[in-house]
Amino acid sequence: MLGIVISGSRGRMGKRIFEASKNFEEVAVKGLLERKGHPEIGIEIEGMKVTDNPEIIKEGDVLIEFTNPEATVEHIEYVLKYKKKVVIGTTALNQEQVKKIEEASKEIPIVFSPNMSVGVNFLFEIVKIASNVLKDYDKEIIEIHHNKKKDAPSGTAMKIAEIIKNECGGNLVFGRKGLVGERKKEEIGVLAVRSGDVVGEHIVLFAGNNERIEIIHRAHSRDAFASGAIRSAIWLKDKKSGLYSMKDVLGL
């Protein structure tokens, strides 16, 4: 039985991961971690108390981390301390924080991905192919999320932009305003929309003079991400130190 500790356990993703874990016979939740000051600290969820003490990380085999960049970096120290494994879905990390994850992966196994959905990670592969074939087309990325999402653009949109830039070169342009002039060929446009309760939608446009290709992924439920996170934790079970992505988990 694989023991998991859920960090950000009472957030939108944390709750879905907790529920999704019940669909995996080989997984058992061993701890529910939340930030200090969270109103649900101390309440009991199916026999487990929600805690703000990161020492709970030692109770599981794998930490599943969906919080904020600062908390993620702090919790990695506990994963290192107790020689555990970690799945990280936190987004909006800066270069210094990412470097800390990379350094930690020399000692422990880490799956680090901006999106745990199987469909989105397949989309990454499609975008890579399209970028190679359609190098001369205009490239634009539109992402839509619920009005409570704190970071923009989404980690997934930034990953898509990174793929396109690696394959085609170019410069990222975040939204447009005012008299910006004619679109430059090297631009990779990224637009973030926040509206309603949209779980997540990503549209990638490759537009030529006479045609346009749209690659679209729509998440209907956070369960798509939750199941992917648990699959990642199971996949890590026998892995040694290293930095992995959902591409590795899915064998893409």
> Where in the sequence numbering do the catalytic residues fall?
145, 149
Helix (H, G, I), strand (E, B) or coil at 217: strand
The SS3 assignment for 248 reads helix
Tokens (6 digits) for 48: 């487990």
Q: How far is the CA of 149 from the CAs of 92, 140, 152, 245, in angstroms? A: 11, 21, 8, 23
State how far the alpha carbon of 140 is from the alpha carbons of 42, 149, 188, in Å.
46, 21, 6
The H or E element spanning position 30 is: strand 27-33
DSSP string of 156-191, one letter each residue: HHHHHHHHHHHHH--EEEE---SS--SPPTTEEEEE
DSSP letter string over 45-106? ETTEEEE--GGGGGGSSEEEE-S-HHHHHHHHHHHHHTT-EEEE------HHHHHHHHHHTT
Residues 6+ apart with CB under 8 A from 44: 50
Around Cβ 6, how many Cβ atoms within 10 Å?
A: 32
**Calpha distance 138→79 (Å, rounded):** 43
